[in-house]
Structure 1
Protein backbone atom coordinates (compact mmCIF):
# COMPACT_ATOMS: atom_id res chain seq x y z
CA UNK A 1 0.00 0.00 0.00
CA UNK A 2 1.26 3.47 -0.81
CA UNK A 3 2.34 5.56 2.14
CA UNK A 4 3.09 9.24 2.37
CA UNK A 5 6.75 10.00 1.59
CA UNK A 6 8.77 11.44 4.47
CA UNK A 7 9.71 14.47 2.35
CA UNK A 8 6.11 15.72 2.35
CA UNK A 9 5.60 18.46 4.92
CA UNK A 10 2.09 18.78 6.33
CA UNK A 11 0.65 16.16 3.98
CA UNK A 12 -2.28 15.77 4.39
CA UNK A 13 -3.13 19.02 6.20
CA UNK A 14 -3.82 18.87 9.95
CA UNK A 15 -7.54 19.60 9.59
CA UNK A 16 -8.09 17.15 6.71
CA UNK A 17 -11.25 15.06 6.63
CA UNK A 18 -12.31 12.85 3.76
CA UNK A 19 -14.71 14.77 1.51
CA UNK A 20 -18.22 13.43 1.15
CA UNK A 21 -19.25 11.91 -2.15
CA UNK A 22 -19.65 13.41 -4.82
CA UNK A 23 -18.06 16.64 -3.53
CA UNK A 24 -17.53 18.25 -6.95
CA UNK A 25 -16.65 21.74 -5.74
CA UNK A 26 -15.38 24.73 -7.66
CA UNK A 27 -12.60 25.89 -7.68
CA UNK A 28 -11.02 22.44 -7.79
CA UNK A 29 -7.92 23.58 -5.86
CA UNK A 30 -9.86 23.93 -2.58
CA UNK A 31 -7.80 22.16 0.11
CA UNK A 32 -10.84 21.19 2.18
CA UNK A 33 -12.41 19.26 -0.70
CA UNK A 34 -9.28 17.58 -2.01
CA UNK A 35 -8.29 13.92 -1.81
CA UNK A 36 -5.08 13.03 0.02
CA UNK A 37 -5.36 9.28 0.69
CA UNK A 38 -5.26 6.25 -1.56
CA UNK A 39 -8.46 5.01 0.09
CA UNK A 40 -10.37 8.15 -0.93
CA UNK A 41 -8.90 8.06 -4.43
CA UNK A 42 -10.00 4.44 -4.85
CA UNK A 43 -13.45 5.08 -3.37
CA UNK A 44 -14.24 8.15 -5.49
CA UNK A 45 -12.96 6.58 -8.72
CA UNK A 46 -14.82 3.34 -8.09
CA UNK A 47 -18.10 5.09 -7.29
CA UNK A 48 -17.95 7.38 -10.33
CA UNK A 49 -17.04 4.45 -12.57
CA UNK A 50 -19.91 2.36 -11.15
CA UNK A 51 -22.40 5.18 -11.67
CA UNK A 52 -21.32 5.97 -15.22
CA UNK A 53 -21.08 2.30 -16.27
CA UNK A 54 -24.57 1.67 -14.86
CA UNK A 55 -26.02 4.64 -16.77
CA UNK A 56 -24.52 3.50 -20.06
CA UNK A 57 -25.31 -0.20 -19.61
CA UNK A 58 -28.92 0.44 -18.59
CA UNK A 59 -29.19 2.84 -21.53
CA UNK A 60 -28.09 0.00 -23.80
CA UNK A 61 -30.65 -2.28 -22.13
CA UNK A 62 -33.30 0.37 -22.83
CA UNK A 63 -32.32 0.40 -26.49
CA UNK A 64 -32.51 -3.41 -26.54
CA UNK A 65 -36.05 -3.16 -25.14
CA UNK A 66 -37.02 -0.53 -27.71
CA UNK A 67 -35.86 -2.80 -30.55
CA UNK A 68 -38.33 -5.48 -29.40
CA UNK A 69 -41.43 -3.30 -29.76
CA UNK A 70 -43.86 -4.95 -32.15
CA UNK A 71 -42.42 -8.44 -31.73
CA UNK A 72 -44.46 -11.40 -30.40
CA UNK A 73 -45.12 -11.67 -26.67
CA UNK A 74 -42.98 -14.79 -26.39
CA UNK A 75 -39.86 -12.65 -26.90
CA UNK A 76 -40.69 -10.37 -23.96
CA UNK A 77 -40.39 -13.07 -21.29
CA UNK A 78 -36.68 -13.38 -22.11
CA UNK A 79 -36.20 -9.62 -22.27
CA UNK A 80 -36.66 -9.26 -18.51
CA UNK A 81 -33.26 -10.87 -18.05
CA UNK A 82 -31.47 -8.25 -20.19
CA UNK A 83 -31.30 -5.41 -17.61
CA UNK A 84 -30.19 -7.84 -14.90
CA UNK A 85 -27.39 -9.24 -17.04
CA UNK A 86 -26.35 -5.76 -18.21
CA UNK A 87 -26.31 -4.55 -14.60
CA UNK A 88 -24.15 -7.46 -13.46
CA UNK A 89 -21.74 -6.95 -16.35
CA UNK A 90 -21.56 -3.21 -15.64
CA UNK A 91 -20.83 -3.87 -11.97
CA UNK A 92 -18.08 -6.38 -12.69
CA UNK A 93 -16.41 -4.19 -15.31
CA UNK A 94 -16.65 -1.06 -13.15
CA UNK A 95 -15.28 -2.86 -10.09
CA UNK A 96 -12.25 -4.01 -12.05
CA UNK A 97 -11.46 -0.81 -13.95
CA UNK A 98 -12.43 1.60 -11.18
CA UNK A 99 -10.28 -0.24 -8.65
CA UNK A 100 -7.18 -0.35 -10.81
CA UNK A 101 -7.45 3.26 -11.99
CA UNK A 102 -8.30 4.54 -8.50
CA UNK A 103 -5.36 2.78 -6.87
CA UNK A 104 -2.91 3.94 -9.54
CA UNK A 105 -4.22 7.51 -9.33
CA UNK A 106 -3.89 7.49 -5.55
CA UNK A 107 -0.36 6.11 -5.67
CA UNK A 108 0.74 8.71 -8.23
CA UNK A 109 -0.72 11.63 -6.31
CA UNK A 110 0.65 10.42 -2.96
CA UNK A 111 4.13 9.83 -4.38
CA UNK A 112 4.23 13.42 -5.61
CA UNK A 113 2.69 14.89 -2.42
CA UNK A 114 -0.11 16.41 -4.52
CA UNK A 115 -3.65 17.16 -3.51
CA UNK A 116 -6.11 15.48 -5.87
CA UNK A 117 -9.17 17.55 -6.78
CA UNK A 118 -12.39 15.55 -6.50
CA UNK A 119 -12.90 16.19 -10.21
CA UNK A 120 -10.04 13.84 -11.16
CA UNK A 121 -11.88 10.59 -10.22
CA UNK A 122 -14.99 11.93 -11.99
CA UNK A 123 -12.99 12.60 -15.16
CA UNK A 124 -11.35 9.17 -14.97
CA UNK A 125 -14.79 7.58 -14.62
CA UNK A 126 -15.69 9.20 -17.95
CA UNK A 127 -12.39 8.08 -19.47
CA UNK A 128 -13.16 4.50 -18.39
CA UNK A 129 -16.60 4.66 -20.02
CA UNK A 130 -15.23 6.16 -23.23
CA UNK A 131 -12.55 3.45 -23.44
CA UNK A 132 -15.29 0.83 -22.98
CA UNK A 133 -17.37 2.38 -25.77
CA UNK A 134 -14.45 2.69 -28.19
CA UNK A 135 -13.29 -0.87 -27.48
CA UNK A 136 -16.78 -2.24 -28.18
CA UNK A 137 -16.46 -1.51 -31.90
CA UNK A 138 -14.78 -3.98 -34.21
CA UNK A 139 -11.85 -2.71 -36.18
CA UNK A 140 -12.56 -2.95 -39.89
CA UNK A 141 -9.92 -3.30 -42.50
CA UNK A 142 -6.78 -5.19 -42.08
CA UNK A 143 -3.61 -6.34 -43.58
Structure 2
Protein backbone atom coordinates (compact mmCIF):
# COMPACT_ATOMS: atom_id res chain seq x y z
CA UNK A 1 0.00 0.00 0.00
CA UNK A 2 1.55 3.31 -1.05
CA UNK A 3 1.67 6.10 1.45
CA UNK A 4 0.26 9.49 0.57
CA UNK A 5 3.47 11.32 1.41
CA UNK A 6 4.92 14.24 -0.55
CA UNK A 7 8.30 12.55 -0.75
CA UNK A 8 6.84 10.04 -3.21
CA UNK A 9 5.93 12.82 -5.66
CA UNK A 10 9.22 14.74 -5.46
CA UNK A 11 11.06 14.56 -8.78
CA UNK A 12 14.40 12.72 -8.56
CA UNK A 13 16.35 15.73 -9.88
CA UNK A 14 14.59 18.22 -7.57
CA UNK A 15 16.68 21.05 -6.17
CA UNK A 16 15.15 23.57 -3.79
CA UNK A 17 14.76 26.86 -5.67
CA UNK A 18 16.61 29.90 -4.41
CA UNK A 19 14.64 32.61 -2.67
CA UNK A 20 12.44 34.32 -3.98
CA UNK A 21 12.10 32.32 -7.25
CA UNK A 22 8.93 34.09 -8.31
CA UNK A 23 8.05 33.61 -11.93
CA UNK A 24 5.72 35.59 -14.17
CA UNK A 25 2.33 33.85 -14.17
CA UNK A 26 1.05 35.41 -17.39
CA UNK A 27 2.61 34.76 -20.76
CA UNK A 28 4.89 32.10 -22.16
CA UNK A 29 6.39 29.66 -19.67
CA UNK A 30 9.48 29.15 -21.81
CA UNK A 31 11.02 32.34 -20.46
CA UNK A 32 11.22 31.24 -16.82
CA UNK A 33 10.37 27.78 -15.60
CA UNK A 34 7.94 27.73 -12.68
CA UNK A 35 9.52 26.86 -9.34
CA UNK A 36 7.82 24.57 -6.89
CA UNK A 37 8.36 23.64 -3.26
CA UNK A 38 7.95 20.07 -2.05
CA UNK A 39 9.50 19.87 1.43
CA UNK A 40 7.85 21.24 4.55
CA UNK A 41 11.05 22.99 5.65
CA UNK A 42 11.31 24.84 2.35
CA UNK A 43 7.67 25.92 2.51
CA UNK A 44 8.18 27.17 6.06
CA UNK A 45 11.38 29.04 5.11
CA UNK A 46 9.84 30.78 2.08
CA UNK A 47 6.76 31.77 4.09
CA UNK A 48 8.90 33.07 6.94
CA UNK A 49 11.12 35.14 4.62
CA UNK A 50 8.20 36.67 2.75
CA UNK A 51 6.35 37.42 5.99
CA UNK A 52 9.44 39.13 7.41
CA UNK A 53 9.83 41.26 4.29
CA UNK A 54 6.15 42.25 4.02
CA UNK A 55 5.70 42.90 7.77
CA UNK A 56 8.88 45.00 7.95
CA UNK A 57 7.82 47.03 4.91
CA UNK A 58 4.34 47.68 6.31
CA UNK A 59 5.57 48.58 9.80
CA UNK A 60 8.37 50.83 8.56
CA UNK A 61 5.96 52.66 6.23
CA UNK A 62 3.69 53.36 9.19
CA UNK A 63 6.65 54.35 11.39
CA UNK A 64 7.96 56.85 8.85
CA UNK A 65 4.45 58.25 8.43
CA UNK A 66 4.25 58.72 12.21
CA UNK A 67 7.66 60.41 12.21
CA UNK A 68 6.59 62.80 9.46
CA UNK A 69 3.42 63.69 11.35
CA UNK A 70 5.34 64.41 14.57
CA UNK A 71 8.07 66.33 12.76
CA UNK A 72 5.66 68.34 10.62
CA UNK A 73 3.38 69.12 13.58
CA UNK A 74 6.26 70.38 15.72
CA UNK A 75 7.69 72.39 12.87
CA UNK A 76 4.57 74.21 11.75
CA UNK A 77 3.19 74.98 15.18
CA UNK A 78 -0.11 73.19 14.89
CA UNK A 79 -2.84 74.09 17.31
CA UNK A 80 -2.75 72.51 20.72
CA UNK A 81 -5.57 70.64 22.46
CA UNK A 82 -7.29 73.91 23.48
CA UNK A 83 -7.02 75.46 20.02
CA UNK A 84 -4.03 77.60 20.98
CA UNK A 85 -1.20 78.26 18.58
CA UNK A 86 2.30 77.27 19.65
CA UNK A 87 3.23 80.92 20.20
CA UNK A 88 0.40 81.24 22.73
CA UNK A 89 1.61 78.17 24.62
CA UNK A 90 5.26 79.23 24.88
CA UNK A 91 5.22 79.81 28.60
CA UNK A 92 3.27 76.64 29.37
CA UNK A 93 5.88 74.15 28.22
CA UNK A 94 9.11 73.27 30.03
CA UNK A 95 12.22 74.49 28.22
CA UNK A 96 13.74 72.02 25.78
CA UNK A 97 10.53 70.06 25.22
CA UNK A 98 10.55 70.57 21.47
CA UNK A 99 14.20 69.59 21.04
CA UNK A 100 13.78 66.47 23.16
CA UNK A 101 10.93 65.27 20.95
CA UNK A 102 13.16 65.35 17.87
CA UNK A 103 16.09 63.71 19.64
CA UNK A 104 14.09 60.57 20.39
CA UNK A 105 12.15 60.51 17.12
CA UNK A 106 14.58 58.00 15.56
CA UNK A 107 13.45 55.39 18.10
CA UNK A 108 10.06 55.02 16.40
CA UNK A 109 11.23 53.05 13.32
CA UNK A 110 13.57 50.93 15.45
CA UNK A 111 10.75 49.91 17.79
CA UNK A 112 8.39 49.28 14.88
CA UNK A 113 11.02 47.15 13.10
CA UNK A 114 11.63 45.02 16.21
CA UNK A 115 7.90 44.53 16.79
CA UNK A 116 7.39 43.68 13.11
CA UNK A 117 10.18 41.11 13.28
CA UNK A 118 8.66 39.39 16.30
CA UNK A 119 5.18 39.38 14.77
CA UNK A 120 6.53 38.12 11.44
CA UNK A 121 8.46 35.25 13.00
CA UNK A 122 5.36 34.13 14.88
CA UNK A 123 2.90 34.58 11.99
CA UNK A 124 5.29 33.27 9.33
CA UNK A 125 6.13 30.19 11.35
CA UNK A 126 2.52 29.31 12.12
CA UNK A 127 1.29 29.90 8.56
CA UNK A 128 4.35 28.26 6.99
CA UNK A 129 4.11 25.12 9.10
CA UNK A 130 0.38 24.85 8.46
CA UNK A 131 0.87 25.27 4.71
CA UNK A 132 3.67 22.73 4.73
CA UNK A 133 1.58 20.22 6.65
CA UNK A 134 -1.44 20.62 4.36
CA UNK A 135 0.56 20.39 1.14
CA UNK A 136 2.62 17.45 2.37
CA UNK A 137 -0.47 15.61 3.60
CA UNK A 138 -2.01 15.92 0.15
CA UNK A 139 1.22 15.17 -1.67
CA UNK A 140 0.96 18.40 -3.64
CA UNK A 141 3.65 20.66 -5.01
CA UNK A 142 3.49 24.30 -3.96
CA UNK A 143 4.15 27.22 -6.25
CA UNK A 144 6.64 29.75 -4.88
CA UNK A 145 3.87 32.34 -5.15
CA UNK A 146 1.82 30.72 -2.37
CA UNK A 147 4.09 31.81 0.53
CA UNK A 148 4.19 35.34 -0.93
CA UNK A 149 0.39 35.52 -1.14
CA UNK A 150 -0.02 34.16 2.39
CA UNK A 151 2.39 36.76 3.77
CA UNK A 152 0.26 39.49 2.17
CA UNK A 153 -2.85 37.88 3.66
CA UNK A 154 -1.14 37.86 7.08
CA UNK A 155 -0.30 41.56 6.95
CA UNK A 156 -3.82 42.40 5.78
CA UNK A 157 -5.25 40.44 8.72
CA UNK A 158 -2.88 42.37 11.01
CA UNK A 159 -4.03 45.70 9.58
CA UNK A 160 -7.69 44.72 9.78
CA UNK A 161 -7.33 43.54 13.38
CA UNK A 162 -5.86 46.90 14.38
CA UNK A 163 -9.28 48.53 13.93
CA UNK A 164 -11.83 48.16 16.67
CA UNK A 165 -15.11 46.94 15.34
CA UNK A 166 -17.82 48.80 17.20
CA UNK A 167 -21.46 48.24 16.71
CA UNK A 168 -23.22 45.01 16.21
CA UNK A 169 -26.59 43.94 17.43
Provide structure 1 residue ranges, at least 5 long, that are not aligned to the other structure: none
Provide structure 2 residue ranges, at least 5 long, that are not aligned to the other structure: 75-97
Which has more radius of gyration? 2
Residues 4 and 137 of structure 2 are in contact (CA less than 8 Å); yes or no, is this contact kept in structure 1? Answer: no
Q: Are positions 1:121 and 2:119 aligned together?
A: no
Residues 35 and 41 of structure 1 are in contact (CA less than 8 Å); yes or no, is this contact kept in structure 2? Answer: yes
**Superposition RMSD on alpha carbons, in Å?**
2.2
Equivalent-residue separation in structure 2 for 1:100 and 1:79 (angstroms)? 33
Per-residue deviation, 1:76? 1.0
TM-score (norm 2): 0.75
Equivalent-residue separation in structure 1 for 2:127 and 2:108 (angstroms)? 28
Q: Superposition pairs for residues 3-22 of structure 1, below 5 Å?
A: 6-8=3-5, 10-22=8-20
Structure 1 residues 105-133: Cα deviation after superposition (integer angstroms, max 9, x where no partner): 01100111100000000000000000000
Equivalent-residue separation in structure 2 for 1:138 and 1:32 (angstroms)? 41
Residues 16 and 32 of structure 1 are in contact (CA less than 8 Å); yes or no, is this contact kept in structure 2? Answer: no
Structure 1 residues 25-62: Cα deviation after superposition (integer angstroms, max 9, x where no partner): 14499986100000110000000000000000000111
**Which of 67, 72, 75 does residue 69 from structure 2 map onto?**
67
Between 67-76 and 77-86, the greater mean CA deviation after superposition = 67-76
Question: Post-superposition, which runs of at least 4 consecutive aligned residues in structure 1 deviate over 2 A?
Answer: 5-10, 26-32
Structure 1 residues 80-138: Cα deviation after superposition (integer angstroms, max 9, x where no partner): 11111100100000000000000010110011110000000000000000000000001
Q: Secondary structure at the match of 2:11?
A: coil
TM-score (norm 1): 0.88
Q: Are positions 1:57 and 2:59 aligned together?
A: yes
